[in-house]
């Protein structure tokens, strides 16, 4: 807390909180003894821009993204870059992707993107790639190795041979609890690419991986799931400090598997209930995750929020600033060896999660 840069950032976070609900994450990284390479980035995700007809789009989802863009432009100090976690579009239409990118074009700073299933299953990512480039790549920034993966692929048979039209395929993948659905995966060729990419990185370099689906198995019915998660985790296993940041789940989740910390981003569009409140199939919400409560289900922004994430020497602290709900801090606990929800860990402190079904 003594770092003046960090104080400024937190101050900015407080000012933003006062301004309202913030579906935006700010990620701060600090590495090295003298912390000269201290830096931060912002994280937006899941705007689900929905085309109605002509020039008309669902207004609420537009407003969520417009607000997140405006608020990320107010951050001081400026984040080094902005990351978008996928699902720009609702049904993968070029007009939805274009409309979302038009809103995002107001962002000050370089933007990196990850592919969401709602961006992919209409034209298999053709328009997205035309606008944004490759769907998997890596880059180095101030001593940290960043990896972007497309984790929403599935079996070729399902993708290429099952459906009478591209629109039908998109609708099938967009449905929840769909017996005709198919699990997400990173896939063999991307895993081979990842292995080669990581071969050139020393094991003491902090690695941050961006995916759309969680690179762990939580709830198959809603594809809070990546079928080859264990194989991807095995490739990350040799590194001392690994963090996976993902979108898709529209809620707070955190976990620790071996050396890998996992943190989910909240959506700019809407919050999902926790799968544990909707058990049609087995759910494996990480034991570490203490559910956030949706205090007012009729307030569309409740259970969305703003995340401030510190990576101090590769260990992650997340500050959740939640409108209409108590703020929370998930901090790395060195003794426990995993992230701990410092305020909500004790049973007596928790607000019980609501069940709506
Ligand atoms: Fe989403
Ligand atoms: Fe998604």
Distance 15 CA to ligand 2 centre (A): 30
* Cα 158 to ligand 2 centre (Å): 18
The per-residue pLDDT for 270 is 87
Average pLDDT over residues 3-22: 40
Q: How far is the CA of 86 from the centre of ligand 2 (A)?
A: 7
For residue 142, the CA-to-ligand 2 centroid distance in Å is 30
pLDDT at 20: 37
Q: Say how many Å lie between the CA of residue 249 and the centre of ligand 2.
A: 7
pLDDT score of 287: 82
CA of 267 to the centre of ligand 2 (A): 10
Let me know: does 86 contact 104? Beta carbons within 8 Å: no
- How far away, in angstroms, is 182 Cα from ligand 1 center? 16
Find tokens 């690695």 and name the residue: 207
Looking at per-residue pLDDT, the higher value among 302 and 213 belongs to: 213
Q: Is the pLDDT of residue 297 over 80?
A: no
* Homologous superfamily of domain range 4-349: Metallo-dependent phosphatases (3.60.21.10)
Q: In sequence order, which residues have a C-beta less than 8 Å from that of residue 202 and are 6 or more positions away?
A: none
Of 183-187, 217-221, 296-300, 348-352, the one with minimum mean pLDDT is 296-300
Q: What is the pLDDT of residue 315?
A: 60
What's the whole-number mean pLDDT along residues 271-285?
77
pLDDT-above-70 percentage for the chain: 79
pLDDT at 271 over 90: no
Residue 295: band (very low, low, confident or very high) from pLDDT cuts 50, 70, 90: low
Per-residue pLDDT of 99-135, as tens digits, reads 999 999 999 999 999 999 999 999 999 999 999 999 9
- Distance of CA 138 from the midpoint of ligand 2 (Å): 21
Whole-number Å distance between alpha carbons of 135 and 186: 11
Mean pLDDT of 200-216: 94
CA of 251 to the centre of ligand 2 (A): 12
Q: For 27-71, how does the pLDDT look when each residue is reduced to its tens digit (9 = 90+)?
A: 555 444 444 466 777 888 999 999 999 999 999 899 989 988 888
* 160's tokens: 């290429």
Please tell me the predicted confidence (pLDDT) of residue 302.
74
Residue 285 reports pLDDT greater than 90: no
Q: Do the Cβ atoms of 19 and 70 come closer than 8 Å?
A: no
Cα(200) to ligand 2 centroid in Å equals 31
Taking each helix axis as running N to C, give the angle between helix 94-104 and helix 59-73, from 0 to 180 degrees, rounded to the nearest 10.
Answer: 30
Please give the Cα distance from 111 to 43 (Å, whole number): 10
Residues 6+ away with beta carbon under 8 Å from 95: 51
Mean pLDDT of all residues belonging to the chain: 83
Full DSSP string of 299-352: STTBTB-EEEEEEETTEEEEEEE-TTS--EEEEEETTTTEEEETTT-SGGGPPP
**Span 137-162, mean pLDDT?**
95
> Mean pLDDT highest for which of 207-211, 307-311, 319-323, 332-336?
207-211
pLDDT per residue as tens digits for the range 250-263: 988 999 998 898 98
For residues 269 and 64, the answer to whether their CB atoms sit within 8 Å is yes
Spatial separation of the C-alpha atoms in residues 189 and 20, rounded to whole Å: 43
Distance 199 CA to ligand 1 centre (A): 32
**Alpha carbon separation from 98 to 114, 128, 275 (Å, rounded):** 16, 9, 32
pLDDT of res. 227: 97
Confidence of residue 23 (pLDDT cuts 50, 70, 90): very low
């Amino acid at each position: 807390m003594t770092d003046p840069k960090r104080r400024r950032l937190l101050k900015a976070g407080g000012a933003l909180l006062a301004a309202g609900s913030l579906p935006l994450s700010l990620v701060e990284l600090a590495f090295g003894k003298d912390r000269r390479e201290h830096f931060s980035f912002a994280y937006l995700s899941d705007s689900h821009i929905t085309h109605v007809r002509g020039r008309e789009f669902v207004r609420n989802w537009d407003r969520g993204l417009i607000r997140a863009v405006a608020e990320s432009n107010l951050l001081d100090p400026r984040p080094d870059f902005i990351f978008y976690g996928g699902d720009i579009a609702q049904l993968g239409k070029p007009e939805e992707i274009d409309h979302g990118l038009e809103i995002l074009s107001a962002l000050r700073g370089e933007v990196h993107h990850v592919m969401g299933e709602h961006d992919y299953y209409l034209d298999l990512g053709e328009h997205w790639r035309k606008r944004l480039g490759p769907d998997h790549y890596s880059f180095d920034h101030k001593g940290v190795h960043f990896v972007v993966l497309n984790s929403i692929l599935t079996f070729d048979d399902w993708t290429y041979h099952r459906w009478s039209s591209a629109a039908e395929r998109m609708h099938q993948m967009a449905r929840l609890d769909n017996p005709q659905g198919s699990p997400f995966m990173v896939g063999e060729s991307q895993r081979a690419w990842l292995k080669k990419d990581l071969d050139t990185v020393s094991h003491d370099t902090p690695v941050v991986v961006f995916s759309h689906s969680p690179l762990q198995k939580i709830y198959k019915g809603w594809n809070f799931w990546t079928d080859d998660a264990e194989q991807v985790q095995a490739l990350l296993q040799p590194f001392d400090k690994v963090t996976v940041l993902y979108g898709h789940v529209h809620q707070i989740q955190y976990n620790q598997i071996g050396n890998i910390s996992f943190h989910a981003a909240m959506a700019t569009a809407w919050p999902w209930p926790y799968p544990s409140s909707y058990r049609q199939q087995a759910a494996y919400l990480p034991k570490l995750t203490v559910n956030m409560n949706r205090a007012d289900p009729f307030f569309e922004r409740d259970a969305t929020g703003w995340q401030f994430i510190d990576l101090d020497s590769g260990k992650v602290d997340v500050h959740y600033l939640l409108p209409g709900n108590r703020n929370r801090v998930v901090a790395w606990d060195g003794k426990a060896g995993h992230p701990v929800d410092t305020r909500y860990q004790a049973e007596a402190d928790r607000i019980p999660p609501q069940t709506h079904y």
